[in-house]
Chain A
Amino acid sequence: MVADVVTGGLEARVVVERAALDVALELPPGRTVALLGPNGAGKSTILEALAGVLPLDEGRIVFDGVVFDDAHRVFVPPAERRFGVVFQDLLLFDHLDVVENVAFGLRARGMGRTAARRRAEAWLERLEVLALARRRPTELSGGEARRIALARALAAEPRALLLDEPLGAVDVTGRIGLRRVLADHLAAFPGPRLLITHDVTDAYLLGDLVVVVEGGRVVQRGTPDDIRLRPRTRFVADLAAVDLFEGEAHAGTVRLGDFELTVADTAASGAVVVRIHPRAVALHAERPAGSPRNVWRTTIDRVEAQGDRVRLRLGAPLALTAEVTPAAVATLGLRPGAAVWVAVKATEIDVEAR
Chain B
Amino acid sequence: MRRRPRPLTVPRVLHLAAGLAVGYLLVPLVGLVGNVPWRELPRLLGDPLVLDAMRLSAITSIGATVLAAVLGLPLAVVLARSSFPGRRLVRGLVLLPLVLPPVVGGAALLFALGRGGILGAPLYRATGLVLPFSTAGAVLAATFVSLPFLVVTVEAALAGLDPRRELAAATLGAGSWTILRRVTLPAVAPSVASGLLLTWARALGEFGATITFAGNLPGRTRTLPLAVFVALEHDRPKAVALGLLLVVVALGVLVALRGRWWRTS
Question: Measuring CB to CB, which residues of chain A are less than 8 angstroms from any residue of chain B?
Answer: 51-53, 77-79, 81-85, 87, 89, 91, 93-96, 104-105, 107-109, 152-153, 156
Which 9 A-B pairs rank lowest in CB-CB distance, beginning with the nearest? A105-B172, A108-B174, A91-B168, A53-B167, A78-B170, A85-B171, A95-B186, A78-B171, A108-B173
Q: Which of B165, B167, B169, B175 has the most CB of A within 10 A?
A: B167
Residues of B in contact (CB 8 Å), total: 18
Across the interface, A93 reaches (CB within 8 A) one of B167, B170, B183, namely: B183
Q: A94-B187, A108-B178 are in contact. Are A77 and B170 (CB under 8 A)?
A: yes
The residues of A that contact B233 with a CB separation of less than 8 Å are none
Instruction: Flag whether B88 is at the interface (Cβ < 8 A).
Output: no
Chain B interface residues toward A at CB < 8 A: 162, 164-165, 167-175, 178, 182-183, 186-187, 189
Residues of A near B175 (CB, < 8 A) are 79, 108
Chain B residues, CB < 8 A from A52: 170-171
Residues of B within 8 A of A107 (CB): 182
Could you list 24 A-B pairs, sorted by A, with CB under 8 Å? A51-B167, A51-B171, A52-B171, A53-B167, A53-B168, A78-B167, A78-B170, A79-B171, A79-B173, A79-B174, A79-B175, A83-B171, A85-B168, A91-B164, A93-B182, A95-B186, A95-B187, A95-B189, A96-B182, A104-B169, A108-B175, A108-B178, A108-B182, A156-B173
Contact of A79 among B162, B165, B170 (CB under 8 A): B170
Tell me the minimal C-beta distance from B187 to chain A in angstroms. 6
Most chain A beta-carbon contacts within 10 A, residue among B168, B170, B178, B187: B168
**Residues on B with beta carbons closer than 8 Å to the beta carbon of A85:** 168, 171
Q: Which residues of B contact A81 (CB under 8 A)?
A: 171
Residue of A nearest to B163 (CB): A53
**CB neighbours of B186 from chain A (8 A):** 93, 95-96
Minimal beta-carbon separation of A161 from chain B (angstroms): 11
In the bound complex, CA of A77 to CA of B166 (Å): 13
